[in-house]
Structure 1
Amino acid sequence: MVSNAHSGRSHRRILAEHGLDRAFGVQVYSDEVGIRKPNPRIIELAATALGVTADRCWYVGDTLDRDVVAGRRAEVAAVVVTRSHHTDAPPFGVAAEPDAVFDTPEGLADALEAAGPARSPVRTSIPAAKPARAALLIDHGGVISHSQPDPDAMGEFAAEVARRLTGAGEQVAPAQALELIEKGRERHHLRKQQRHRAHVETGAPLAEVQPVDFWRDLVGAELPERQRAILTAEAFDLMHLLGRAKSRRILRTGVRELLETCRDAGLAVVVVSNTINGRAVRAQCAEHDLDGLIGAYVCSDEAGVRKPDPTIVREALRVAAADPARTWFYGDKPENDAEAARACGITHRVIVRGGSTPDETVDRALTSGLVTTAVPDAGQLAALIAAEHRTDADA
């Protein structure tokens, strides 16, 4: 079982209620391992846990943009789709194709038996792959939404961390937990700066901090072994809670108009975000009622690298089956967003003003050609995309 899930615990309970839990050799859920499809590592992890390699496995899913793409990238022996409302209407063009499509899982057992150890299923009719298309790759923090510190939420979160750390004669107060968290975030900030310099100077991959490293080594650096073990075991859940608690998100002007314009123009929309927790980013977009307008998310904690490392942007282009020459990248930091986009050959590199980047820095990036356009809000970008779409249609 390999699933993108908000709560692996709930999925495990449902399987157990139906008496199916022992039918699976291993259950791998994205919220528990910090990897989401279409990242192939989640399939490779499941194969390793079963004692085989991915090329000895069939992968069965229901989405083209997540399941089929992940299966192909993991190089499994066969990718099979059982049809659902997701199957024939992916949020954007997908070049990867399944080996077979079944209306229900009912025929899958027969196909497995007929295939034997050395055969793959017979390819059946599926929608034709769409050509590379235009896309909007959009940053989250500072672009989709502004953030404001939320001391009350952080206080509640610190109290929860204190509760988890308290025990065996070791009492931890919420104020102590908050101090530990803030020290960890400071260490994380310094580490980000060091890794960024190394990336710029040497081209080394710009790795994102992983939850266990953050909580065990940065937050828990000075704690005793028992408490560090708690932070290790709870790291993924704590990172999600921190991502939700550290700030309140306020939707920026024109964002809904921009995403609706992309939908009407047929542009794929992929969020490309440097973040400690992609799950929190998706939840925040859902709370703004934007999730139906966003096709996919490529988040640094799940991809393993941060912008300006272009790897994360290449991933987004692959997910969207997008043509860089027809793609727009919309961010707020020229040194992160525009640099990564330029390295991937993206033509339209747009920066929004009024965020954390001073106007003079944006102006220098425009003069140098790093940034191609600067806009005051997403509404102006929507107008630019709509105008280009009308020009393409007329041509």
Structure 2
Amino acid sequence: MSVSPEPRPRPRPQTQPQPGLPPPRLLALDMGGVIVETLPAPGWAARFATRLLGHARHSLPPGTALPTIEQVAGDLAEGRARHESWKDSTLGGAERSQSELWAELSRPTWGRPLLDHITRNRADLTAELCLVWEERAVRDGIRELLVECTRAGIAVGVVSNTISGPAYRSVLDRAGLTGYFRALSFSDEVGIRKPDPRLLLDTIDDAGVTPGATWYVGDTYRRDVVCGRRAGAGTTILMRSRRTEPAPGGGPEPDHTVGDPAGLHALLRAALHGPTTSRGGGLHTTR
């Protein structure tokens, strides 16, 4: 995301999970903030503008008039700010199409040749843009958590808002994590974005389980906790990240809060084998 990350909230007191927490048949995870930490990518607009214009010059007839890198980069940054404002104001429902996204990112002053080039190559350009406009690092402890799920016969899925599912799949591929997931639901492909519960229910349906047998883990209250509650997930878990906002007054609370994947792993082991001591960010039981 382009917005500046919010200060990390103070850790909540570490407690032991409630006894008798049933293990899930499906562990459904948000992508950004849970599987990967998303970080600002300084200079992304200029880098993408350079790639976009370079690709266009190779594809368009010689001498085609094109805008400058500086003009395209500035318009992209402004368009993304508008997109982020829309994301922050929406309460879920239909995801924007790629044509709607590019209508917001591009400007008529770019000229018809470049705009037509974008239309012809929109899917690939959107995937590249998704990979460029923020940096992602796999969170420590995720791989160990996924291995535990495989050993225990627990299905794992991804439920994520994004402008490009193919880009997120490539992130998982490069990290060597794809094989751990049974179901992948991305908002641009399903056409629904969180907190609308239908995105989570799509993963639950693909995995062949019920909402009550699902743990859903996300890193925001207003999108993820609300989504888990609306979908009827058996257990809704908040994992803190750089973008976790303060708890909303009067809003739904998660069943558990964990500081990182190690804390989630400890919660899962407690459900499978009995309580253990977390070596990571700890866990907090809120139900």
Place the TM-score, normalised by the shorter chain, in its bin.
0.7 to 0.9
For structure 1, the residue ranges without an aligned partner over 5 or more in a row are 1-132, 200-205
The structure whose residues are more often helix, as a share, is: 1
Q: Which residue of 2 aligns with 1:220?
A: 106
State which of 265, 270, 273 in structure 2 corresponds to 1:382. 265
State which of 188, 191, 204 in structure 2 corresponds to 1:304. 191
Structure 2 CA distance, aligned partners of 1:234 and 1:176? 20
User: How far does residue 212 in structure 1 lie from its aligned partner after superposition?
Assistant: 1.8
Question: In percent, how many aligned pairs have the same letter?
Answer: 30
How many residues align? The count is 246
Q: Which residue of 1 aligns with 2:237?
A: 350
TM-score (norm 1): 0.58
SS at match of 2:236: strand
User: How far does residue 154 in structure 1 lie from its aligned partner after superposition?
Assistant: 4.8
State which of 323, 326, 340 in structure 1 corresponds to 2:210. 323
- Give yes or no for contact 1:139–1:273 (8 Å, CA) kept in 2: yes
SS at match of 1:151: coil
Q: Which residue of 1 aligns with 2:163?
A: 276
Q: Which residue of 2 aligns with 1:140?
A: 31
Residues 227, 354 of structure 1: alpha-carbon distance in 2 compared, 3 angstrom cutoff = closer
Q: Deviations over 1:310-358 (max 9, x none)?
A: 1111101100112222211111011111111111110211111243124
For structure 2, the residue ranges without an aligned partner over 5 or more in a row are 1-23, 275-287
Q: Which residue of 2 aligns with 1:162?
A: 53
TM-score (norm 2): 0.78
Q: Which residue of 1 aligns with 2:69?
A: 174
Structure 2 CA distance, aligned partners of 1:279 and 1:147? 17
RMSD: 2.2
Q: Which residue of 1 aligns with 2:82?
A: 187
Q: Deviations over 1:121-154 (max 9, x none)?
A: xxxxxxxxxxxx7100000111111122333665
Structure 2 CA distance, aligned partners of 1:236 and 1:311? 24
Is 1:255 aligned with 2:142? yes
SS at match of 1:192: helix
Q: Which residue of 2 aligns with 1:62?
A: none
- Give yes or no for contact 1:300–1:306 (8 Å, CA) kept in 2: yes
Q: Deviations over 1:66-90 (max 9, x none)?
A: xxxxxxxxxxxxxxxxxxxxxxxxx
SS at match of 2:242: coil
Structure 2 CA distance, aligned partners of 1:153 and 1:191? 20
Q: Which residue of 1 aligns with 2:3?
A: none
Runs of 4+ in 1 over 4 A off after TM superposition: 164-169
